[in-house]
C-alpha cells in the first residue's frame, strides 16, 4: 500500500460554486479547472483502479472498496477500519479482481 | 484492479466522467447547518456513482459470452421483402426523434434520459447502440473496446434489435410499429 497525503482544495466555496455553474453550461475551461482542483481526489481512485494502490486509512477509499465486498461482516470491519488478517486478505482478493460477487471476472 | 481490462486512459476517463456526472447532478441545497458545499455532496455521492460506472464500463463488458462466427456481414442490410400495392413514402426521422431524446450522451446510456422502448434495455445494450448507431463505430472497433470478437458484437446488436422489436410490439407502440414497418407475426 502507498500512503497518500490527502490535500483538500483551498478554493473558497463561492469560487467552486461559480466554476460548477460554468461547468454545468459545458464551459470547458471551468471543467478543466475543476478537474485540476479535484485532481488529488480523483487520482486516488485512478491509482486504486489501475495501479491497485490504495490506502485503507482513507475513508473515501474504504467506502468505495466496501461496495465491492459482498461479505457483510468484512464490509463492516472495513468501514470501521478494523480488519483482521483474514478480512484484510479477503479485501485484497476482491481488489485483485479474482472474484467479485463469487464470480471470476478476468 | 482494472489493470487487466484496459489502459490508464480508460480508467481516468471513467473517473472524470463520474466527476462530471456529480457536477451535473449537484444542486446547492440548504440544510439545518447551512448550505451543503459541493465537497460534501461529492464525498457522499461520488463513490456510489463510480462503482456503478466501473461495473458498467470496465467490468461488465467482459462478462459477455461468445457466439459462433457469422460469415456474412449482413447486419446493416435491409430485408427486401417487397409488398404488393402502394406503400407511402417513409417519413424521415432523425435518430434523436427515434431515440426520443435531445442528447445522445452517456446519461442516455445510463438510463437517465431514456424512455420506452430504450429504457427496457440494459446499460450495456444502450452502450452498444450508442457506439454503433450514434458514434458510427464499426463492429470491429467496438469489439476492441469490449474485448470480444466482431461477430459477437454483431450478434449482440442483432439480439438488441430483436429485443427492441419485441418491446415495441409488447407495448403496442403503434407509431413506431408503423414507422419502422414492424410485422407483428414475424
pLDDT number for residue B60: 55
Q: Which residues 117-136 of chain B have a CB within 8 Å of chain A?
A: none
- Give B7 or A64, the one with higher predicted confidence: A64
With beta carbons less than 8 A apart as the criterion, state whether A66 and A75 touch.
yes
**What are the DSSP calls for A72-91, one per residue?**
HHHHHHHHTT---HHHHHHH
A-chain CB neighbours of B39 within 8 Å are 8-9, 16
Is the minimum CB–CB distance between B25 and chain A shorter than 8 Å?
Answer: no
Quote the CA–CA distance of A66 and B46 in Å, as a whole number: 14
Q: Looking at the predicted structure, is the pLDDT value of residue A100 above 60?
A: no
Q: Do residue A49 and residue B26 have CB atoms under 8 angstroms apart?
A: no
Q: Are B125 and B50 found together in one domain?
A: no
Least-confidence region, from A5-14, A85-94, B51-60, B77-86: B77-86
pLDDT number for residue B97: 57
With beta carbons less than 8 A apart as the criterion, state whether B17 and B46 touch.
no
Residue ranges of chain B with pLDDT lower than 50?
Answer: 2-4, 62-82, 186
Query: Would you say residue B186 lies in a domain?
Result: no
At A70, which helix (H) or strand (E)? none
Query: Would you say residue B103 lies in a domain?
Result: yes
pLDDT number for residue B103: 67
Q: Do residue B54 and residue A41 have CB atoms under 8 angstroms apart?
A: no
pLDDT number for residue A2: 42
Interface test with A, best of B8, B15, B30, B58 (most A CBs within 10 A): B15
Least Cα distance to B133 among B109, B168, B166 occurs for B109
**pLDDT tens per residue across span A44-58:** 988 888 777 888 899
Q: Do residue A17 and residue B2 have CB atoms under 8 angstroms apart?
A: no
The number of domains in chain B is 2
Of the candidates B45, B63, B81, which is a domain's last residue?
Answer: B63
Q: Which residues 75-94 of chain A have a CB within 8 Å of chain B?
A: none
Query: Would you say residue B146 lies in a domain?
Result: yes
- pTM of structure: 0.53
Query: Would you say residue B135 lies in a domain?
Result: yes
Task: List, in sequence order, the alpha helices (H) in chain B.
Answer: 8-25, 38-53, 95-99, 106-110, 123-129, 139-146, 150-170, 174-179
**pLDDT tens per residue across span B116-160:** 788 888 888 888 888 888 888 888 788 777 777 777 788 888 888
Backbone angles phi, psi at A74, to 5 degrees: -65, -40
- Using 50, 70 and 90 to split pLDDT, how confident is the model at A99? very low
| Range of the structural domain that residue B175 is part of | 95-179
And the C-alpha cell for B59? 467490468
Name the residue facing A35 among B16, B46, B59 (closest C-beta). B16
Q: What CATH number is associated with residue B136?
A: 1.10.10
**What are the DSSP calls for B54-103, one per residue?**
IIIIIIGGGGPPP----SS--TTSPP--PPSS--PPPP---HHHHHT-S-
Q: Looking at the predicted structure, is the pLDDT value of residue A60 above 70?
A: yes
Query: Would you say residue B184 lies in a domain?
Result: no
Query: Would you say residue B102 lies in a domain?
Result: yes
Query: Would you say residue B89 lies in a domain?
Result: no
- Give B173 or A89, the one with higher predicted confidence: A89
Quote the CA–CA distance of A51 and A68 in Å, as a whole number: 17
Query: Would you say residue B3 lies in a domain?
Result: no
Task: Give the distance from residue A79's alpha carbon to the nearest chain B alpha carbon, in angstroms.
Answer: 14
Task: Give the distance from residue A63's alpha carbon to the nearest chain B alpha carbon, in angstroms.
Answer: 7
Is the predicted ipTM greater than 0.85, yes or no? no
Q: Do residue B15 and residue A45 have CB atoms under 8 angstroms apart?
A: yes
Amino acid at each position: 500500500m502507498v500512503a497518500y497525503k490527502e490535500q483538500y482544495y483551498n478554493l473558497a466555496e463561492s469560487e467552486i460554486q461559480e466554476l460548477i455553474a460554468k461547468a454545468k453550461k459545458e464551459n470547458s475551461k471551468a471543467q478543466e479547472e475543476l478537474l485540476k482542483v479535484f485532481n488529488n481526489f480523483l487520482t486516488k481512485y485512478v491509482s486504486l483502479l489501475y495501479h491497485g494502490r490504495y490506502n485503507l486509512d482513507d475513508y473515501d477509499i474504504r467506502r468505495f472498496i466496501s461496495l465491492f465486498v459482498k461479505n457483510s461482516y468484512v464490509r463492516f470491519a472495513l468501514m470501521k477500519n478494523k480488519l483482521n488478517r483474514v478480512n484484510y486478505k479477503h479485501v485484497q482478493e476482491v481488489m485483485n479482481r479474482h472474484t467479485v460477487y463469487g464470480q471470476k471476472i478476468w | 484492479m482494472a489493470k487487466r481490462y484496459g489502459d490508464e486512459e480508460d480508467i481516468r476517463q471513467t473517473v472524470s466522467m463520474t466527476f462530471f456526472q456529480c457536477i451535473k447532478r449537484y444542486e446547492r441545497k440548504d440544510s439545518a447547518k447551512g448550505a451543503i458545499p459541493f465537497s460534501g455532496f461529492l464525498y457522499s455521492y461520488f463513490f456510489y456513482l463510480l462503482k456503478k460506472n466501473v461495473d458498467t464500463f470496465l467490468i461488465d463488458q467482459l462478462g459477455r459470452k461468445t457466439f459462433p462466427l457469422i460469415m456474412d456481414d449482413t447486419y446493416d442490410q435491409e430485408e427486401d421483402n417487397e409488398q404488393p400495392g402502394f406503400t407511402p413514402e417513409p417519413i424521415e426521422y432523425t435518430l434523436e426523434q427515434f431515440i426520443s431524446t435531445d442528447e445522445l450522451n452517456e446519461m442516455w446510456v445510463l438510463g437517465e434520459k431514456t424512455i420506452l422502448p430504450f429504457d427496457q434495455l440494459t446499460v450495456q445494450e444502450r452502450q452498444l447502440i450508442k457506439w454503433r448507431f450514434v458514434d458510427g463505430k464499426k463492429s470491429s472497433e467496438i469489439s476492441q473496446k469490449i474485448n470480444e470478437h466482431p461477430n459477437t458484437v454483431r450478434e449482440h446488436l442483432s439480439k438488441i434489435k430483436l429485443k427492441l422489436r419485441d418491446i415495441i410490439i409488447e407495448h403496442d407502440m403503434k407509431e413506431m410499429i408503423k414507422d419502422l414497418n414492424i410485422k407483428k407475426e414475424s
